[in-house]
Amino acid sequence: MPTRDDLFAAYALGDRGIPSLRMNFVASVDGAVSLHGRSGTLGGQTDRALMEVLRAMADVILVGAGTVRVEGYGGVQPTAEDAAWRRTHGLSPAPRLAVVSGRLDLSPDDSVFADATSRPIVVTRASAPHERREALAEVADVLVCGDATVDLGLMVAEFAAQGMTQVLSEGGPHLFGSLLDADVVDELCLTLAPRVVGGGAGRIAQGATEGDRGYALRSILHDDDGFVFLRYAR
Ligand SMILES: NC(=O)c1ccc[n+]([C@@H]2O[C@H](COP(=O)([O-])OP(=O)(O)OC[C@H]3O[C@@H](n4cnc5c(N)ncnc54)[C@H](OP(=O)(O)O)[C@@H]3O)[C@@H](O)[C@H]2O)c1
């Protein structure tokens, strides 16, 4: 099994001064992003350990509102070991959590806000419903990027201006599609689960403009349970 140290080594970041956005997904070998509507059902022990390691390295964790609505998402609480790793590397105790939403169909009572360990960020557009924006501003920092649509390039620049250069996005597929169209995805970390699930689950990227975007294989690991861990970088 890859150890935690193996994962830290295989997924080490470069110069933290250079803004970087990495995606992390798990998919079945037939390309499904979910089983029974959730992604956790596809994962395994090493996949969960990798998720913790990637979170430990990040300044901000970015998720789409769809994933928050389906998966719940509570507070981001690093393990004592990961918190110590962050301290040693001069990072804040925990990464921030940022949710991207155009419609702001989110409630201040959602666990993502109610169980937050640090104040979450809601990334939206100027044309988002005003009342919902006001309500969410009570429980989160609202970052307005763009007018009619959310400008994800501007979002990455705003994060960097606030010292959050290392962005880890945990999906979902529509957010990944938008991030691809905004041309801000530097890395793709993909866990392949040794399962064929069929059904109607979608691919890891939805809605992106078709294009031949080349990424180079940076590392490949596997564990004793048959999971494969791929790291691609631009
Ligand atoms: N296998 C995996 O690793 C993995 C990871 C994550 C999620 N998933 C699965 O994916 C499914 C959810 O898929 P999804 O595509 O709906 O998730 P998603 O990308 O997290 O959510 C889509 C929603 O996020 C907001 N959003 C995304 N991009 C936006 C943009 N550019 N501008 C404004 N808002 C944006 C919108 O919210 P508003 O409607 O509020 O405007 C949109 O409706 C679930 O089944 C989940 O379990 C799997």
The Å distance, Cα 202 to ligand 1 centre, comes to 11
CA separation for the pair 115, 76 (Å, rounded): 9
Q: Per-domain residue ranges for the chain?
A: 19-233
pLDDT at residue 74 greater than cutoff 90: no
Pocket test for ligand 1, best of 42, 47, 48, 101 (most atoms within 8 A of CB): 101
pLDDT, one tens digit per residue, over 59-70 is 999 999 999 999
b/e per residue, 210-220, with b = 16+ CB within 10 A? eeeeeeeeebe
Q: Are 19 and 187 in contact (CB under 8 A)?
A: no
CA separation for the pair 11, 4 (Å, rounded): 11
pLDDT, one tens digit per residue, over 129-158 is 999 999 999 999 999 999 999 999 999 999
Residue-level pLDDT at 37: 92
3-state SS, residue 145 = coil
CATH architecture of structural domain 19-233: 3-Layer(aba) Sandwich (3.40)
Residue-level pLDDT at 233: 98
3-state SS, residue 67 = helix
Q: How many CB atoms lie within 10 A of CB 33?
A: 23
CA separation for the pair 63, 39 (Å, rounded): 13
Residue-level pLDDT at 163: 97
Q: In this structure, which amino acid lies at residue 199?
A: G
Q: DSSP letter string over 72-92?
A: --------HHHHHHHHHTT--
CA separation for the pair 125, 50 (Å, rounded): 32
Q: Are 185 and 179 in contact (CB under 8 A)?
A: yes
pLDDT, one tens digit per residue, over 151-207 is 999 999 999 999 999 999 999 999 999 999 999 999 999 999 999 999 999 999 999
The Å distance, Cα 1 to ligand 1 centre, comes to 31
Look at residues 205, 202, 198, 189 and name the one whose alpha carbon lies nearest to residue 46: 189
Look at residues 209, 161, 201 and name the one whose alpha carbon lies nearest to residue 28: 201
**Rounded mean pLDDT, 20-41:** 96
Residues with CB under 6 A from ligand 1: 25-27, 33-34, 37-39, 42, 63-67, 70-71, 100-103, 105, 150, 152, 170-175, 178, 206
Q: In this structure, which amino acid lies at residue 43?
A: G
Residue-level pLDDT at 217: 98
Residue-level pLDDT at 11: 98
